[in-house]
Amino acid sequence: MHKTKPYCTDESWHGRADCRHCAIRGTVLFSVLNTAELDRALLDIDNQCFESGSEVFSQDANDGYVYTVRAGCLKMVHKLEGGASRIVRMHYPGDAVGLEALLGLPYRHSAVVMQKADICRIPVGVIQALELNNAHLHEQVMRRWQASLDEAESFITDLNTGHAETRLARLLLKLAAHSERTCIPDLLREDIAAIIGVTTETASRLMADFRRRKLIKDKDGRTMKCDQEGLKNLI
Amino acid sequence: MHKTKPYCTDESWHGRADCRHCAIRGTVLFSVLNTAELDRALLDIDNQCFESGSEVFSQDANDGYVYTVRAGCLKMVHKLEGGASRIVRMHYPGDAVGLEALLGLPYRHSAVVMQKADICRIPVGVIQALELNNAHLHEQVMRRWQASLDEAESFITDLNTGHAETRLARLLLKLAAHSERTCIPDLLREDIAAIIGVTTETASRLMADFRRRKLIKDKDGRTMKCDQEGLKNLI
DNA sequence: CGCAACCTTGAAGCGGGTCAATATTCGTGG
DNA sequence: CCACGAATATTGACCCGCTTCAAGGTTGCG
């Protein structure tokens, strides 16, 4: 990833509005921004768009960055010994990803884009430096950690419990909860399988069945609309 | 839980050795202990033994304590809508439990003892106060958060993936990794079922089968020995 | 166009669920 | 100490949901 431009410190930047979800921005910007030191630190934050399918970082790598999601959707993919892999959680706008880097640890999973994403890359040193003098940022980091834990645990209780049809319904509802107007990404059948713990064929059969029952409708190329009420009846 | 005695500040306490794993003790004790203020804060830390089956805290409660495990083993039980429940992770000596209390949030799960446990109860205010002046403690808290995340995710990748026999083998090996000399607790079949995501009957059938194949041996009442090499062959 | 990646669908088999009966362990009180 | 009942564990028989293996079908891209 190459250095682009210092969005965060540019008050006239058009994308500024989305910064309201950012742990760094949402808490620090409006409290202690006016120091030269802070402005300097923020220059190290980079921003980039990723296309669907591209990898933000790779399992076992250790590059010293934490990432925040401004737009789009990521999957955290864990490779298993047998060559197969499972998706252990997803991340949405406002989430921080790769927090283990704050502890100097290698990434536990690969982060791969599921839906075109706008992502900020923050060197861990920046966060650590700001945290020293800012308890509020510290709390925001902990909140992001807890959010990852909540998401991983909901994968166990919601997406790995009950019949496959129920699990798929819960997955679609979860995606809808993070989308505008029930417009959700049309996931790869392989990804659905890796999330709800079935084979690709079963995922395909279920999705085809849901479409026939009009629980989901194709919108354009990579998104669809879903019938939330109908899906809730399956749970 | 009633106040017992200020173990942490009593240098002659026989149980002191186990404090080496504690986030508070392991980092703060040897750095800034000698202040009256810190000693005072530590007086609010309580310590108690819990018998197997007893509940340390309850899902949705909000009592403002974080707990650390000094000995024994806990299960984090999440109640589902249908009345059933799943176990989303386990905790062992050195772990911190109920970290969401640091954010003022209600507990996500009930914490129930699986094996007689020795547990410290720490008011969130104590941790917050100490964190303000101690970046090292702050790091320790983050490490505990990451450990919870690692454990939850290993439940997805190890204990909710593959055939039931494989998952049970991985569960027993995980317990063995946290025990002395492959002596692991003889879990309730219902707990095994709630961990690896099968019915109680299937858990019972598999355990009975493992015993016949001498992969596990009854020791005394509530513990057993397991053949780690044999179990690894099932993965 | 033609290949590659992805999706859909079918048929057969089995792993684990379900329902039910029996055995075992454990706590409690006589 | 034994007896009794409740909780837990074991086992059987049947069946269904999902996997497996295999064969097209569809989409998209160089």
Asked whether the predicted pLDDT for residue A10 surpasses 90, the reply is: no
Determine whether the distance from the CB of A190 to the nearest atom of strand C is below 7 Å: yes
**Predicted pLDDT at B30:** 40
Residue recorded with tokens 């509940």: B55
Note whether residue A6 is domain-resident: no
Stronger pLDDT, B130 or A188, i.e. the higher one: A188
pLDDT tier, A24 (very low <50, low <70, confident <90, very high otherwise): low
Provide the domain count of chain B.
2
Residues B143 and B179 in one domain: no
**How confident is the model at residue B126, as a pLDDT?**
84
Residues pairing with A90 in the sheet: A75
Query: Do A60 and A123 fall within a single domain?
Result: yes
Partner B, chain A 63-122, Cβ-Cβ below 8 Å: 78, 80-81, 84, 86, 88-89, 99-100, 102-103, 105, 108-109
- Cα B6 from Cα B23, distance rounded (Å): 17
Q: For chain A, what percent of residues have pLDDT higher than 70?
A: 82
CATH of residue B216: 1.10.10.10
pLDDT at position A32: 44
Note whether residue A5 is domain-resident: no
Indicate if the pLDDT at residue A231 is higher than 90: yes
B115 and B225 in a single domain? The answer is no
Select from A92, A125, A152 the last residue of a domain.
A152
**Structural domain includes residue B140:** yes
pLDDT at residue B45, rounded to an integer: 79
Closest listed residue to residue A148, CA positions, set A217, A94, A188: A94
Q: Is the CB of A218 under 7 A from strand C?
A: no
Radius of gyration of chain A (CA): 19
Specify if A9 maps to a domain.
Answer: no
Among B157, B198, B199, the residue to mutate for chain A (most A Cβ within 10 A): B157
CB contact under 8 A, B139 and A78: no
Q: What is the pTM of this model?
A: 0.87
Token pair recorded at residue A83: 């060559």
Residues B41 and B146 in one domain: yes
Q: Are residues A110 and A141 in the same domain?
A: yes
**Inter-residue contact B46 to B3 (CB < 8 Å):** yes
Kindly report which listed range (A8-12, A190-194, A218-222, B193-197) carries the lowest average pLDDT score: A8-12
* A130 and A40 both lie in a single domain: yes
Which positions on chain C have an atom < 7 Å from some protein CB?
6-11, 15-20, 26
Contact A105 B141 (CB under 8 A): no
Search chain B and give the residue with CA nearest A130. Answer: B135
User: Residues A120-126: what's their mean pLDDT?
Assistant: 88
Contacts of B235 in chain A (CB under 8 A): 81
Q: In chain A, which among 123-152 make CB contacts under 8 A with chain B?
A: 131-132, 135, 138-139, 141-143, 145-146, 148-150, 152
Instruction: Flag the least confident range among A56-60, A70-74, A224-228, B218-222.
Output: B218-222
How much of chain A, in percent, has pLDDT values that exceed 90? 57
Asked, for residue B6, whether it belongs to a domain, the answer is no
Q: Residue B92: its pLDDT value, please?
A: 92
Mean pLDDT by 10 residues, chain B (235 residues): 49 54 53 53 78 93 92 93 92 93 96 91 86 79 94 97 97 93 90 97 96 89 89 93
CA distance A138 to A117: 25
Mean pLDDT over A92-97 rounds to: 90
Q: Which residue has the higher pLDDT, A27 or B44?
A: B44
Domain boundary pick from A129, A152, A175: A152
Query: What is the nearest nucleotide to A205, using C1' and CA?
Result: C8
Q: What is the pLDDT of residue A18?
A: 56
Under the banding of pLDDT at 50, 70 and 90, the label for residue A36 is low
Residues of the domain holding A197: 164-232
Kindly state whether residues B189 and B220 are assigned to the same domain.
yes
Residues of B in contact with A152 (CB under 8 A): 149, 152-153, 156
Specify whether A139 is located in the same domain as A176: no
Asked whether residue A191 is assigned to any structural domain, the reply reads yes
Residue finishing a domain among A127, A152, A177: A152
The CATH number for A42's domain is: 2.60.120.10
What is the structure's pLDDT at B47?
A: 82
Query: Is residue B113 located within the same domain as residue B195?
Result: no
A185-209 burial: b if 16+ Cβ within 10 Å, else e: bbbebebbbbbbbbeeebbeebbee
As a rounded value in angstroms, the CA-to-C1' distance for B230 and C6 is 40
Strand partners, A87: A77
Q: What backbone torsions phi and psi does residue B216 show, to the nearest 5 degrees? A: -135, 150
| Alpha carbons B179 and B96: distance in angstroms, whole number | 18
Higher pLDDT, A151 or A47: A151
Considering the domain architecture, whether residues B67 and B181 belong to the same structural domain is answered as no
- The reply to whether A211 Cβ lies less than 7 angstroms from strand C is yes
User: Are residue B122 and residue B218 in the same domain, yes or no?
Assistant: no
Buried-state track A92-120, b at ≥16 Cβ within 10 A, e below 16: bbbbbbbbbbbeeeebbbbbbbbbbbbbb
Domain-located, residue B8: no
Cβ–Cβ under 8 Å, residues A68 and A24: yes
- Contact across the interface for A157 and B86, Cβ inside 8 Å: yes
- Find the CB nearest B155 among A109, A143, A156: A156
**Nearest-by-CA chain A residue for B145:** A145
Looking at the domain assignment, is residue A11 inside a domain?
no
Residue among B108, B129, B120 at smallest CA distance from B69: B120
If asked whether residues A137 and A203 sit together in one domain, one would say no
pLDDT of residue B20: 57
